[in-house]
Amino acid sequence: MIKNYFIIAWRSLIKNRLFSFINIFGLALAMSVGMMVMIRVKDSFSYDHFHPHRAYTYRITSQITNPEKLSWELASTPLPLQEILDSDTLAVQASTSLYPGIYETLTDGAKDIDVAGCFTQSSFFDVFGFTLLHGNARTALQHPYSVVLSKATAEKFFGSNNPVGSMLTVGKLGVFQITGVLNEDPGKTHIKHDVYIAYATIDKLETLGKLPAKSKTWNSFEKAYTYIVLNDHASLDDLQRHLNSVAQSINQQSNHGTFAFNTQKLSAITPNWGTLYNDFARAASWGKIITEGTVAFIILLAACFNYTSLSIARSLTRTREIGIRKIAGAKRSQIFFQYIVESIVLSLFSLVLAAAMLSCILEYKPFNDGYEFIPEISVDWVLIACFVGFALAAGLLAGIMPAWIQSSFKAVKMLRNTMAENIMGGLTLRKILLVFQFSISLVVLIFLTAFYKQFSFMENADQGFARENIVAIPAQTNERDPFRNEITRLAGVQQVGSISSTFGNRPTGYADIKLSQESQQLVKAGYYFCDAGAIPLSELTIIAGSNFDRGIHRDEQSVILNQKAVQALGLKNIHSALGETVWIDTLQLRIVGIVKDFYHQGVAHAISPMVLRSNTSNQQLLVKINPHVLQETTQQIEHLWNKVYPGIALNYTWLDHENEQRYDQSATISLLGFLAFMTVTIASLGLLGLVVFTVETRRKEISIRKIIGASVVQIINLLSKGYIKLLVIAGIIAIPTGYVLSSFFLMNFANRISMGAGSLLMVFTFLLFIGLVMIISQTFRASIQNPVKNLRND
């Protein structure tokens, strides 16, 4: 019997190729989204599986209640807590803490790299499953001024060589000895740092004033993250009693509220509910997983509804088949399961097509752009089983209503062909859903149009500084750097300057500037360090005063402001500002020039106060090259670099390419485009199903009208006008909705495009055209059929 079900299902799919393709393609689109969500969910649950004591590892959290009885929970804890817990040998097998207070520049004298890191103990390797490629895990983090590097960080400085024993300078913290290099992480983890410094270094850095004195105080709940491995013979209650005892002793000495400590399982860190403050774990939250799952289900539901509509419409041509089978003795359950099998077979074909779509997405990563939207993941039997189960569930969801309706038909009425008028009753619900589907499609298209136009505008806008044919090269801060001196002698080099960070992104830093040391009027300004060559090279316009003096190698007492800074400081005009002094932190600096305002942070941000500070030793060397000899000069620069710094790769950036990448949202546009294509396709298939259903139920009416003289145009108009009205209603709903949503999005940008009526009407016209194709293709086909064929049995 089951075999016969599959044979009949296969024959039905082959016989009705067009309907089969439409259903398979629509379901495949929806299923591909569901499969992407399943991959993301599986990835969210794949964190921290490689740690040796995962089931017994906990993170300690802090709960703070202020005197007003307001309470909040932090993922962090005070620094001294780990030492207290480590002494509890009955409940705690191992413990460690992470103090992620390191955001410094790592340098070996030849290369500078910004890194993020943390302080931790040797017990880090007892709690977690990280291993060392080079070095000894027991001693690597034992002594002060010891540092362990991630493999990626070590390779940036030393390639594949063993760097243990080498020295590196970690920003203002001092010189450290490399005692280990981490292996690649065995799996995904919420703990990700570039450097790990021995915890014993903290006391010395606090003594020198390089770190705030927090290691001995309990009033530092935001600093450390404490992890423990529970002893095999202890219970969680034992640990909690010890934590309560520690909290009680703190509360006796505090007048700022009450404190408590709780436990969080390692497996509960990712994914999480997002209720903890100060959490550095970067992974999906439960809310995000539920939201993505809901969106995927709604899309799948819309596709399944389309299958239902098309199946019911097509059933009108199968009424006699069902009637004959019932007269021959087929039970309702057999008819029901026959249609369920057809739906499942079609769903499995959809799964194959969806898997092909997914494989292309995983291979070419069109939606990944600095953010891993579709993560790298191994497709194992568990995931395959989930995909197959998903396809079976989709087949049941799509087929259960058509199977139920068609199996309920009465054999006599079906043979007389009188069931057409009673199937599904009224069309009100289906018309509402159709309007909803097209409204969603139109909103997505409007938002996609606004998104694309905005980022195209920002990419091509005049930001007020030069970018063409300028290359930024990471340079040494030494003024006598031979590479910096030699590059000016190349024939194709037009101008050379240096700057601390390139324009168009974030400034080097922010500082409060004021006119006097006692002034309370502070102006927050972004600042850059640069030399005299960077200003003409960037084609900045000095509208008052002069550039920095090229003859003074370190004229650090001079600054150049932009017009916005002059205005914010309350100075009368740009000329009166010249010669005035301003205070930046504790430094008194003299204003020597004013530059015309430009978008130093890019056109996405409004022009804000900006300060150029004189410094001839900066990390970015800007080189403007003659465009006629661009390739030859670039090769000469590479040759010169290899000569001066053999064995160190040259990493340079073209400013125009950097600007393109900054505003390149091709991955997001691809994702939005895919969603728009999917919603439009599903809505179009839904419209097609509804039109086919209407045509099938009104064939006799159409035939009678033709016999009494109705023309093809009149019949097309009769059958189409109701659906065109539905498309217009969808436009009336979606156009203002899409406009409002796009306006909210565009409000994030200081300089933005405007979504005019022309853009909105263009998008609506596009969607209306697609709808008309679906409507007229079926109504025209019905209007030209021979009326005798439809009436000969009556």
* pLDDT tens by residue, 518-567: 777 889 899 999 989 999 999 999 999 999 986 554 566 889 999 999 99
Q: What is the DSSP letter of 750?
A: S
Longest dimension (CA), the chain: 105
Task: Report the pLDDT value the prediction gives residue 557, as an integer from 0 to 100.
Answer: 82
Taking each continuous run of H as one helix and of E as one strand, the counts in the chain are 24, 22
> Which residues span the domain enclosing 91?
54-268
C-alpha to C-alpha distances, 417 to 314, 322, 324, 336, 408, nearest whole angstrom = 14, 11, 12, 20, 14
For the record, the structure tokens of 60 come out as: 């300690």
| CB hemisphere CA count around 380 (13 angstroms) | 7
Phi (first) and psi of residue 434, to 5 degrees = -65, -45
For the record, the structure tokens of 242 come out as: 């010890």
Are both 616 and 694 inside the same structural domain?
Answer: no
Is 646 inside a domain boundary? no
Are both 421 and 438 inside the same structural domain?
Answer: no
Task: Report the pLDDT value the prediction gives residue 781, as an integer from 0 to 100.
Answer: 86
Q: Scan for tokens 């209720």, then name that residue.
A: 275
**579 vs 582: CA distance, rounded Å:** 10
By CB neighbour count within 10 A (0-12 exposed, 13-18 middle, 19+ buried), where does 533 fall?
Answer: buried
For the record, the structure tokens of 315 come out as: 């059933």
CB burial of 275-294 (b: ≥16 within 10 Å; e: otherwise) equals ebebbebebbbeeebeebee
Secondary structure of residue 700 in the 3-state scheme: helix
Are both 103 and 247 inside the same structural domain?
Answer: yes
**192 vs 181: CA distance, rounded Å:** 14
Is 633 inside a domain boundary? no
Secondary structure of residue 652 in the 3-state scheme: coil
Are both 482 and 451 inside the same structural domain?
Answer: no
Nearest Cα neighbor of 10 from 306, 405, 462, 338 is 338
**407 vs 491: CA distance, rounded Å:** 85
By CB neighbour count within 10 A (0-12 exposed, 13-18 middle, 19+ buried), where does 329 fall?
Answer: exposed
Q: What is the DSSP letter of 267?
A: G
Mean pLDDT in each 10-residue stretch from start to end of the chain (794 residues)? Answer: 76 79 86 89 90 95 85 91 85 93 82 88 96 95 96 91 94 93 93 95 91 85 90 89 90 80 93 86 79 82 76 65 75 85 90 92 78 74 90 88 75 52 54 84 92 92 94 71 84 92 87 83 90 93 90 69 93 87 86 95 92 83 94 92 80 90 83 86 84 79 86 89 92 94 91 91 94 90 78 58
What is the sign, positive or negative, of the torsion defined by CA atoms of 269, 270, 273, 279?
Answer: positive
Are both 306 and 398 inside the same structural domain?
Answer: yes
Q: Is the peptide bond before 271 cis (omega within 30 degrees of 0)?
A: yes
Q: Among 237, 268, 299, which residue terminates a domain?
A: 268
Are both 419 and 446 inside the same structural domain?
Answer: no
Residue 528 · residue 559 · CB < 8 Å: no
Helix (H) / strand (E) containing 514: strand 509-514
Is 557 inside a domain boundary? yes
**140 vs 196: CA distance, rounded Å:** 10
Count of CB atoms situated within 10 Å of the CB of 465: 20
Q: What is the pLDDT of residues 118-174, one digit of tens each?
A: 999 999 999 999 999 999 999 999 999 999 999 999 998 898 899 999 999 998 899
Are both 209 and 314 inside the same structural domain?
Answer: no
CB burial of 10-31 (b: ≥16 within 10 Å; e: otherwise) equals eebbeebeebbebbbbbbbbbb
Is 349 inside a domain boundary? yes
**754 vs 742: CA distance, rounded Å:** 10
**136 vs 339: CA distance, rounded Å:** 66
Residue 121 · residue 199 · CB < 8 Å: yes
Is 638 inside a domain boundary? no
The domain tally of the chain equals: 4
Q: Among 425, 447, 480, which residue terminates a domain?
A: 425
* Distance of alpha carbon 748 from the chain centroid: 17
Task: Report the pLDDT value the prediction gives residue 698, as an integer from 0 to 100.
Answer: 81
CB burial of 490-512 (b: ≥16 within 10 Å; e: otherwise) equals bebbebbbbbbbbbbeebbeebe
Q: What is the DSSP letter of 16?
A: T
Is 656 inside a domain boundary? no
For the record, the structure tokens of 72 come out as: 């909040």
**98 vs 191: CA distance, rounded Å:** 9
Task: Report the pLDDT value the prediction gives residue 585, as an integer from 0 to 100.
Answer: 73
Count of CB atoms situated within 10 Å of the CB of 305: 23
Are both 36 and 127 inside the same structural domain?
Answer: no
Are both 524 and 453 inside the same structural domain?
Answer: no
Are both 683 and 620 inside the same structural domain?
Answer: no
Are both 380 and 474 inside the same structural domain?
Answer: no
Are both 439 and 367 inside the same structural domain?
Answer: no
Phi (first) and psi of residue 125, to 5 degrees = -80, -15
What angle in degrees, to the nearest 10, is found between the helix axes of 17-44 and 286-315? 170
Nearest Cα neighbor of 673 from 367, 309, 304 is 367
Q: Scan for tokens 């105080």, then name that residue.
A: 217
Is 457 inside a domain boundary? yes
**171 vs 618: CA distance, rounded Å:** 15
Residue 595 · residue 541 · CB < 8 Å: yes
Q: Among 598, 625, 652, which residue terminates a domain?
A: 625
For the record, the structure tokens of 387 come out as: 């995909």
Instruction: State how beta strands 71-74 and 225-230 pair.
Output: unpaired
